[in-house]
Amino acid sequence: MNLTADTTVRELALEIPAATRVFEKMGIDYCCGGKRSLADACVSAGVEFKDVKIELTLAAHAQAETPDFRTTTLENLISHIVVKHHSYTRLEIARLNALLGKVCTAHGENHPELFRIKVLFRELGADLESHMTKEERVLFPYIIRMEAAAQQLVPLFRPPFGTVANPVRMMMLE
pLDDT per position as a tens digit, 53-110: 999 999 888 776 656 677 889 999 999 899 989 999 999 999 999 999 999 999 999 9
Nearest residue to 2 (alpha-carbon basis) of 48, 55, 56: 56
**Rounded distance between C-alpha atoms, residue 93 and residue 101, angstroms:** 12
- Contact assessment for residue 35 and residue 10, using Cβ atoms and an 8 Å cutoff: yes
pLDDT the model gives residue 61 = 85
In sequence order, the 6+-apart residues with CB closer than 8 A to the CB of 86 are 132, 135, 136
pTM confidence score: 0.68
Q: How does pLDDT run across 121-158, given as a tens digit for each residue? A: 999 999 999 999 999 999 999 999 999 999 999 998 88
pLDDT the model gives residue 133 = 97
**Rounded distance between C-alpha atoms, residue 149 and residue 101, angstroms:** 48
**Rounded distance between C-alpha atoms, residue 58 and residue 134, angstroms:** 33
pLDDT the model gives residue 31 = 86
pLDDT the model gives residue 156 = 87
pLDDT the model gives residue 68 = 64
Q: Find the range with the poorest average confidence among 3-12, 110-119, 136-145, 156-165.
A: 156-165
pLDDT the model gives residue 2 = 80
pLDDT the model gives residue 70 = 72
